[in-house]
């Protein structure tokens, strides 16, 4: 695959820090509380960094006035404890390492120390599978060279990262984003190749194939002092070459975001940023307008969106699992209601059997889990109170799922949080296949190509 975005030798690359956990019940070595304690960053400051600002691309129409659509003031989202987790240990036999220690490593470069993560997964109409991911030296692989070392403000930020486990490794241009592919349904994978290398670091790249065959790659980049921008680029030759990356909101901060854009049934594209801000394209991704700047709540981070069979849109956000619906392509939304599912990095997937799945990292039970709804988000199912079914209970769980032609789901995810130097050096990305039951009362982990055929629980 031809690489079309190599960095200028005189430019620096910066990796954005993953939004670090709030006060939760997780057992990782460093919580968001610890991060705030060591970094001196206030909650208000964190929200400021991740919020999407209300601005439009030059030359485009101003966004509609954001507002809440009429909704039932007594609407409650219920959670039903139904079914059980897959057999203990089954995920160990089902999952396949895609990238990891001594396995399918990306090319070496100054500052790379083994960290891989923040993956995206796509199945093209041709049958080819794509997996995108970031690499670097830590959970957040910012550039670390003389220019940054000699900047007092940058030095302050990096010193705080060092306190929570970041190794002091020279990284002239920070981390980078990669892509690899499989033409045998995930059994074997190509060697990772560079996907995008802008002046800043490029994070959470995901690829969406549009109805006309164009590939839309969305990502965000970061530099210190903190500045986060969402960007996108297009390919009309199946990913062999890409257009130059375009800023979603030039000269404005446009927020974190871990999910891909979604193409709706009418051909338009919806893309979200923290806040929550809703971006809309009616020309197959050539331009985007700010459709609504909802600011659902300060907790509205890492939003995910799906189109329901009845034409409505649904948004689910990190932390308390707040849900809103829209009946006008995202211009107005119902007031958010919490599903009570404590989570990080949620990803909605509307399945052909009518079940709405929300894959997420569980802050209550830990690991990668999925909550299931039989009625488009009003009711959710799991094996324990406000806990989804276990996909992989032994991982950190930032993930990205994709739907396969047979109705099953293939999902890629990160192994650990990558805070300590040891975690970063031994980081891995896993792939796993599963099926959601038609009654939304559980999941079945399936043999993944490249793994053993005899599975615990068979």
Domain that holds residue 318: 32-446
CA separation, residue 299 to residues 75, 182, 247, 338 (Å): 20, 37, 25, 11
| Domain presence at residue 210 | yes
| Domain presence at residue 455 | no
> What pLDDT is attached to residue 8?
36
> What pLDDT is attached to residue 68?
52
> What pLDDT is attached to residue 315?
93
| Domain presence at residue 18 | no
Residue whose C-alpha is closest to residue 416's, from 434, 400, 433, 429: 429
| Domain presence at residue 22 | no
> What pLDDT is attached to residue 254?
56
Pairing of β 193-196 and β 201-209? unpaired
User: Tokens standing for 83?
Assistant: 């079914």
pLDDT block averages, 10 residues each, the chain of length 458? 39 33 38 42 38 33 44 80 97 97 94 94 97 94 88 92 91 91 97 89 92 95 81 95 87 65 96 81 93 60 93 93 92 91 96 98 96 98 98 96 98 96 95 98 92 55
| Domain presence at residue 2 | no
Q: What is the CATH number of the domain that holds 418?
A: 2.120.10.10
The count of domains in the chain is 1
| Domain presence at residue 110 | yes
| Domain presence at residue 13 | no
Rounded Cα gap, residues 280 and 293, in angstroms = 12
> Can you give the pTM of this predicted structure?
0.84
Residue whose C-alpha is closest to residue 294's, from 332, 321, 248: 332
| Domain presence at residue 136 | yes
> What pLDDT is attached to residue 294?
56
User: Does a cis peptide bond (omega within 30 degrees of 0) precede residue 225?
Assistant: yes
């Amino acid at each position: 695959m031809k690489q079309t975005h190599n960095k200028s030798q005189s430019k620096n690359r910066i990796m954005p820090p993953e939004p670090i956990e709030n006060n939760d019940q997780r057992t990782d070595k460093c919580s968001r509380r610890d991060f705030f304690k060591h970094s001196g960053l206030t909650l208000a400051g964190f929200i400021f960094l991740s919020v999407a600002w209300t601005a439009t691309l030059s030359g485009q129409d101003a966004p509609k006035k954001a507002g809440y659509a009429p909704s039932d003031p007594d609407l409650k989202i219920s959670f039903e404890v139904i079914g059980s987790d897959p057999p203990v240990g089954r995920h160990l036999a089902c999952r396949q390492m895609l990238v990891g220690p001594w396995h399918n490593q990306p090319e070496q470069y100054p500052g790379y120390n083994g960290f891989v993560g923040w993956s995206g997964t796509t199945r093209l109409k041709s049958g080819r599978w794509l997996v995108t991911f970031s690499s670097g030296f830590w959970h957040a692989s910012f550039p670390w060279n003389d220019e940054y070392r000699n900047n007092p403000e940058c030095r302050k930020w990096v010193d705080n990262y060092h306190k929570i486990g970041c190794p002091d490794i020279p990284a002239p241009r920070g981390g980078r984003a990669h892509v690899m592919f499989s033409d045998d349904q995930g059994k074997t994978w190509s060697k990772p190749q560079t996907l995008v290398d802008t002046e800043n670091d490029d994070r959470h790249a995901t690829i969406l194939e549009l109805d006309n065959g164009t590939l839309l790659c969305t990502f965000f980049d970061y530099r210190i002092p903190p500045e986060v921008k969402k960007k996108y680029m297009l390919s009309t030759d199946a990913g062999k070459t890409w257009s130059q990356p375009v800023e979603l909101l030039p000269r404005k901060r446009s927020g974190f975001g871990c999910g891909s854009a979604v193409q709706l049934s009418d051909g338009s594209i919806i893309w979200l940023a923290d806040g929550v801000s809703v971006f809309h394209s009616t020309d197959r991704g050539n331009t985007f307008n700010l459709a609504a700047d909802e600011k659902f709540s300060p907790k509205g981070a890492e939003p995910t969106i799906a189109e329901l069979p009845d034409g409505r849109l649904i948004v689910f956000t990190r932390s308390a699992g707040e849900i809103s619906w829209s009946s006008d392509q995202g211009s107005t939304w119902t007031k958010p209601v919490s599903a009570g599912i404590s989570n990080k990095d949620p990803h909605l997937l509307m399945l052909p059997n009518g079940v709405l799945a929300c894959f997420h990292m569980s802050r209550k039970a830990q690991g990668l889990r999925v909550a299931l709804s039989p009625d488009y988000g009003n009711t959710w199912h799991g094996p324990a109170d406000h806990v989804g079914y276990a996909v992989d209970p032994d991982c950190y769980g930032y993930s990205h799922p994709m739907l396969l032609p047979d109705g099953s789901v293939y999902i890629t995810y990160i192994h650990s949080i990558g805070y300590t130097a040891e975690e970063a050096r031994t980081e891995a990305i896993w792939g796993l296949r599963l099926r959601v039951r038609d009654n939304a009362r559980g999941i079945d982990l399936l043999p993944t190509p490249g793994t053993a055929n005899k599975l615990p629980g068979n």
